[in-house]
Amino acid sequence: MRKLNQLMNLKKRVALITGGAGHLGFAIAESLAEAGAKIVLLDVNEKACKQKARQIQRKYKVKTMALVMDLTDLKQLRAVPQQIRKQMGRLDILVNCAALVGTSKLKGWATSFEKQDIETWRLAMEVNLNMPFALIQACKSLLKKTRQASIINISSIYGIVGPDMELYRGTGMGNPAAYSTSKGGLLQLTRWLATSLAPDIRVNAISIGGVFRNHKQPFLARYKKKTPLKRMATEEDIKGAALYLASDLSSYVTGHNLVVDGGWTAW
């Protein structure tokens, strides 16, 4: 029987993280790199993507690759596995972290339902749901070649429960229908893929609660009051969850939604 440090060892494995230059994506990439994985960061921000990839390589002494692209471009998306195969030789872990999030400054986004824009809705569905579907589809053959393939879809508590709009009253913030709907769809896609791609590829999700990004009062106080652990999440809170689902620690886990929300959905 293997020891825990062997089960979590990701040496020789390659992990692709979309949105890898962002806050959550980079935290996940660091977690997997610390466990020995080679890292492919994919992000639309060229400067940040290349900088973060170099940072991981220097800090963790693992091979890294920066893939700069807009995943809404289907031609570019479908070329991803070929580029990874050419430079890394394999793909073991795929983390779908890139997303159109609730703080995005978009027309008809963080506003009342009657003012939410259908084109912004379509963009959210494209980035948050269609893109993971298409990327998994493109990478399936490459992932299937390994015995340890793991897909992790990053969802949200708002893919599980509806929002309490009282949180946002008087703050200028909001919670658009498109975000919740796309994240709920991602959870159902996770379940569908888990049964359809088994036993070759495991597919799981992580639903994280609100992450603290210098939020102001009264939102912060309201959020803490609704959370049993009395705080918002940090990027660090997702690192252990990502390592667990990416590694052999969870080798008998698929179709699962690991909720990291401080107890928000337990009320």
**Pairing relationship of beta strands 38-43 and 14-18 according to DSSP bridges:** parallel
Distances 224 to 210, 219, 241 between C-alpha atoms, Å: 10, 9, 22
Distances 139 to 91, 230, 243 between C-alpha atoms, Å: 8, 39, 20
> Residues 186, 205: contact at Cβ < 8 Å?
yes
Q: Catalytic: 60?
A: no
Catalytic residue among 60, 158, 168, 179: 179
> Residues 204, 150: contact at Cβ < 8 Å?
yes
User: How far is Cα 267 from Cα 263, in angstroms, rounded to an integer?
Assistant: 7
User: Which of the residues are catalytic?
Assistant: 179
